Amino acid sequence: MVLFSGMLICQQPDQYEKTRNQMVDSQIEARGISHQATLQAMRKVPRHLFVPQAIESEAYSDRPLPIGYNQTISQPLIVAHMTELARPAKGKKALEIGTGSGYQAAVLAEIVDTVYTIEIVPELAKESAARLKTLGYGNIVVRYGDGYKGWPEHAPFDIILVTAAADHIPQPLKDQLAEGGRLIMPVGDPATVQQLILLTKRKGKITEQRLEPVRFVPLKRLK
């Protein structure tokens, strides 16, 4: 059995524990998220340690927040929604494209076995890797690079979450989805509004479901 020391750190009460629980009650559970493991993970991950210190006190508000380099940490509700849609469980392996602050990766890592996450802004990749290490998330692997191509060395993945928007779903990501796997990505005009898409793979065949409108930062490409 592996014990991740950071999970013990996270379990200790902190000054934001009450605010964090209120966030989950009023912003997440009250709006229909019912997947217990997702709710538990969001009660546990210290979101205030994933935003710049200057705006720490706003970490549990109902909106995305700037994390530097023109990027944002998603609104808590969208993190919860994408996590629930992914049907995370013990024994599963996840890939995230767009590490950003590392918050979504941490929420997933509370539930699944391993999270591989790729970030295209080198500074963010470095900062998030350090943050996740400090918090003791030994089951998250952060890499700098262009997530468009996925991470073939660790494929196939039961879960693929793309937290940046493009006008199509990258073929390499579809190819790296495991049998029974679920891929969630905002697809549409990266400059305005997109639609959240859920792909499922059964017997090698991919089925697409179109969900609600969302707004994400654009998926960039390395030249």
Site for ligand SAH, rule CB under 6 A: 71-74, 97-98, 100-101, 103-104, 118-121, 124, 146-148, 163-164, 217, 219-221
Our CB check for ligand SAH shows the closer of 16 and 116 to be: 116
As measured in angstroms, the least distance from the Cβ of 146 to ligand SAH is: 5
Q: State in angstroms the smallest separation of the CB of 58 from ligand SAH.
A: 14
5, 34, 74, 101: the catalytic one is: 74
Of residues 182, 181, 199, 192, the one with CA closest to residue 214: 192
Nearer to ligand SAH, 101 or 139 (CB): 101
Max CA separation in the chain (angstroms): 49
User: Nearest distance from residue 193's CB to ligand SAH, in Å?
Assistant: 16
SS (H, E, C) 120-182: CCHHHHHHHHHHHHHCCCCCEEEEECCHHHCCHHHCCEEEEEECCEECCCCHHHHHCEEEEEE
CA-to-CA dists, residue 3 to 7, 132, 139, angstroms: 8, 15, 10
Q: Which is nearer to ligand SAH, 87 or 131 (CB)?
A: 131
CA-nearest of 179, 158, 167 to 96 is 158
Token pair in block for residue 123: 């500074």
For the CB of residue 30, give the shortest distance to ligand SAH in the complex, in Å: 22
Q: Is 61 a catalytic residue?
A: no
35: its two tokens: 């997947």
71 or 176, CB closer to ligand SAH? 71
Q: How far apart (Å, rounded) are the C-alpha atoms in residues 166 and 148?
A: 10
Catalytic residues, by residue number, are 74
